[in-house]
Amino acid sequence: MTLVRYFAAAAEAAGTESEERPEATLAELRTAILDEHPQLWFVLPDCAVLVDGVRTDGDTPLADARMIDVLPPFAGG
| pLDDT of the residue at 58 | 81
24: phi > 0 → left, psi -120 to 50 → alpha, else beta; which?
Answer: alpha
The Cβ of residue 16 has, within 10 Å, a number of other Cβ atoms equal to: 13
Asked whether 40 and 9 are in contact (CB, 8 A), the reply is no
Domain spanning 2-71 has what CATH number?
3.10.20.30
For the whole model, what pTM was predicted? 0.92
Q: What is the mean pLDDT of residues 73-77?
A: 66
